[in-house]
Chains A and B, each alone.
Chain A
Amino acid sequence: MKIRTRSIFIVYFLGLLLIALFLLDLRIGSISISLKDMLGHLTGRASLSEQQELILTKFRLPRVATALMAGAALPVCGLQMQTLFRNPLAGPYVLGISSGASFGAALVVLGAGATGIVATWSLAIAAWIGAGTVMLLLLFVSYRIKDVMTILILGIMFSSGLAAIISIMQYFSQASALKSFVIWSMGSLGNVSGAQLKIMAWAILPLLLLTLAYSKVLNGLMLGEEYARTMGVRIQRTLLIIFATTSILAGTITAFCGPIGFIGIAVPHMARFLLNRSDHRVLIPVSMLTGMVVMVFSDIVSRLPGTEQILPINAVTSLIGIPVVIWLVVMNRKAQSL
């Protein structure tokens, strides 16, 4: 089967690309650590200097791990939204789910100003609640209004509304809290501490496995809810799972990395384009892989190799994702198709 060989080829290609970018990303920085030393350190044959080891394990590895998790999680959110709302332009960012998470985070950062492990958990939980609330509103509206454009516009309105409230909160908040919020809102993969990384991993990895297990059901949803039900999909349970996984995945990433735009909406389309098929059983893992490649690549770009400047990750992902969305809208006039 031609399509099958293509899929296998894509997976190998993306896998190798990811490993290469992963290693490259670990190398980049003020202190250079050669590939040979890194591999030697891992296998125990050579050892790194104490400083090198500290940089590698405390800074670079957590950052790249964060990039990998964000890269795997956000496209899954986008893909689930696109399938559920049967809208190619759906995504956690466009539909306001990321904004919901931002609002939750803003409440914690600007309002409470909590610190330490309490802050970490409260940040995550606030973001989950924020994302979940927007998700609930969207689901509620989509039950009454079937028109996909309306849902999209409502999502954009939700996110603009939340942005307005956040800016009011910023206006009345203290300078130090404001600064940390502004930095957070630019997005960063590097601010995730070891403890936060653990929370992220615990929240994200099981859910990613769950969505893989649900890929057959997502296939059933492609034809819409009615068809799904006549094909034996237990719709309530499925909606609940999509709803929960999207809120928690998007919420967690947003809480710890800030709002990262356009990965959720653009990457599933890249994966579809690469695969030329819509079977979620392949589309989900390939979207995760593609997302990880794009995120690690964005991280490398954001570090502007050769300089000491660091660009906000949100800006980089947007510049990568926006052309994809424009291509989608302009080139693919059959905007109904997924």
Chain B
Amino acid sequence: MSGKKADHIISLDRFTIGYQKDHCLLKHLYLTVNRGEMVALIGRNGTGKSTLLKSMIGLLAPLAGTCLLDGLPLDDYTLPQRAHRVSFVSSQLTQLPSLSVGELVRLGRMPYTGWMGRLSTDDLDQVRQALEEVQMTAYEDRKLENLSDGERQRAMIARAFVQDTPLMVLDEPTAFLDIPNTHELIRLLSRFRDAGRSIVYSTHDLESALRYADKLWVIHEGRILEGSPEDLGMSGLFSELFSASGIGYDNRTGRFLFSGNRRGVVSMEGKLVKEEPVIWTRKTLERLGYGIESGAAVKLTIESSSEGYIWIIQKEDEIFSFKNLYTLARFLIQEE
């Protein structure tokens, strides 16, 4: 069981997952996770993200194929041996027992303690370190039910971290989190990655995955496409992926356009020294479903003024000016 280390911490071979023989979700997967690599699994609801993660670590039985964990088939490990190699954070944040953060994180040392579960000073050191790592040291005695979703998720991650496994698997760790918390959490995971852990997590949030993950697994039409975020981006996969859903994806900026249909196009004229007004104006246009194209009939110029900025719209022969983006937005909506 010990000795030489396999190249891949996880290696899936003809891996087929699903519930019964006639209801398979994903077929013949050949995927790998390298050591010290962060993999983001992306796909819509119901495409089998959870099932794949759970099958990969032996919580569900695959329909066919093998999964090599650290070079050996999953079934060759006993559950305690597996617990030394993979830790897991499930997507469910509800139904947690009334534990304090400290009690929860100490549970992570379970695979290393004797039959009475007594923690050594080394175990307690690791618990303290994990709490520091997720910035929850001050929360040690707080009960889980009194934490925010973000804090609770960090506590769950600290529990997995303290299990001290080369591979951490997280099912939708950011599902209940707002954008700042999501980024904070994924950055936390990338710090673990930098410390040599392998991380596999599933998410809806392509934006943070593009930013932080080393490799993406994208579930698309019953297949999984594997590659670095940039490779997959260049292949035009994301535009294709989201075109059907009414969510626009701008392949040049790597951004999503969330309104269904395009209202029109605007050309942005002039140059400003400061970037912020341009960025926020772009965001407004994006939100309203306006594309930005040079040479469009509607021209938008941002001028600095004594009170800040003025937005000037030039349309055919008419000229309108706006003191803020809100009034600009109202105008553009009514124009349509």
**Is the CB of B334 closer than 8 A to any CB of chain A?**
no
Q: Is the C-beta of B244 less than 8 angstroms from some C-beta in chain A?
A: no
Which A residues contact B (CB, under 8 angstroms)?
Answer: 3, 86, 148, 213, 215-216, 219-220, 222-224, 226-227, 229-235, 272, 277-279, 281, 334, 336-338
Q: Is the CB–CB distance between B113 and A216 below 8 Å? A: yes
In the bound assembly, the distance between CA atoms of A86 and B92 in angstroms comes to 14
Number of A-B contacts (CB under 8 A): 84
Residues of B within 8 A of A279 (CB): 103
Q: Are A281 and B97 in contact (CB under 8 A)?
A: no
A-B contact pairs, 20 of them (CB 8 A): A219-B110, A220-B107, A222-B97, A223-B97, A223-B104, A224-B95, A227-B90, A230-B86, A231-B110, A231-B111, A232-B83, A232-B110, A235-B79, A272-B98, A277-B103, A278-B97, A279-B103, A281-B117, A337-B98, A338-B98
Per the bound structure, the CA–CA distance linking A281 and B110 in Å amounts to 13
With contact pairs A86-B95, A219-B117, A336-B95 given, residues A230 and B57 touching in the complex (Cβ less than 8 Å): yes
The interface on chain B, measured as residues whose beta carbon lies within 8 A of the other chain's beta carbons, has a size of: 36
A337 touches B110 (CB 8 A): no
Q: Given the complex, which residues of B lie within 8 Å of A281, measured CB to CB?
A: 116-117
Q: Complex formed: what's the CA distance from A90 to B57 in Å?
A: 31
Chain A: CB-nearest residue to B82: A232
Q: Give the distance to chain B from A274, nearest Cβ to Cβ, in Å.
A: 14
Q: How far is the CA of A217 from the CA of B212 in the complex (A)?
A: 37
User: What chain B residues lie within 8 Å of A224 (beta carbons)?
Assistant: 90, 92, 95
When chains A and B are docked, how far (Å) is the Cα of A241 from the Cα of B88?
Answer: 25
- Contacts A219-B107, A234-B79 hold; do A277 and B88 have CB atoms under 8 A apart? no
CB distance from A163 to the nearest CB of B (A): 30
- Asked if A229 and B79 sit within 8 Å, CB to CB, the answer is yes
Whether B94 is near chain A, meaning CB under 8 Å from some CB there, is yes
A80 to chain B, nearest CB (A): 14
Residues of A within 8 A of B97 (CB): 86, 222-223, 278, 337-338
* B321 at interface by CB-CB < 8 Å: no
B 92-128 binary contact with A (CB < 8 Å = 1; else 0):
1011111110011001101101011100000000000
User: Are the CB atoms of A334 and B145 closer together than 8 Å?
Assistant: yes
- Chain B nearest CB, measured from A232 CB (Å): 3
Interface status of B163 (Cβ within 8 A of chain A): yes
Tell me if B138 is interfacial: C-beta within 8 Å of chain A.
Answer: no
CB of B3 within 8 A of chain A? no
- Expressed in whole angstroms, the Cα–Cα distance for A215 and B107 within the complex equals 12
- Inter-chain CA distance A338–B107, complex, in Å, is 16
A199 CA to B107 CA, complexed, in Å: 37
B88 and A226 within 8 A (CB): yes
- Verify B107–A231 contact, CB threshold 8 A: yes
Tell me, rounded to whole Å, the shortest Cβ–Cβ distance linking B135 to chain A.
Answer: 22
A contact residues around B115 at 8 Å (CB): 213, 216
Q: Considering only CB atoms, which chain B residue lies closest to A233 in the complex? A: B79
- Determine the distance from Cα of A325 to Cα of B290 in the docked complex, in whole angstroms: 59
- Asked whether, in the complex, the Cβ of A227 is within 8 Å of the Cβ of B88, the reply is yes
Chain B 161-173 interface 0/1 with A at a Cβ cutoff of 8 Å (1 = within): 0010000000000
Question: Is B87 interfacial (CB-CB < 8 Å)?
Answer: yes
- B279 interface residue (CB < 8 Å to A): no
Complex: how many Å from CA A220 to CA B81? 16
In the assembled complex, the Cα of A222 lies from the Cα of B110 at a distance in Å of 12
Cross-chain contact B98 with A278 (CB below 8 angstroms)? yes
B195 within 8 A of A: no
User: Is A278 touching B103 in the complex (CB atoms < 8 A)?
Assistant: yes
What's the Cα separation between A226 and B57 when bound, in Å?
11
Task: Please report the C-alpha to C-alpha distance between residue A216 and residue B113 in the assembled complex, in whole angstroms.
Answer: 9
Q: Please, which residues of chain B bring their CB within 8 A of the CB of A3? A: 141
> CA–CA, A334 to B54, complex, Å?
29
Q: Is A216 within 8 A of B110, CB to CB?
A: yes
Indicate if the CB atoms of B98 and A226 lie closer than 8 Å.
no
Cα–Cα, bound, A219→B117 (Å): 9
CB contact under 8 A between A230 and B83, given known A337-B98, A338-B97:
yes
Which A residues are in CB contact (< 8 Å) with B113?
A: 216
Task: Give min CB distance, A199 to chain B, whole Å.
Answer: 29
- Contacts A215-B116, A232-B79 supplied; 12 other A-B pairs, CB < 8 Å: A216-B116, A220-B107, A224-B90, A224-B95, A226-B88, A229-B79, A230-B82, A232-B81, A234-B78, A272-B98, A277-B100, A337-B97
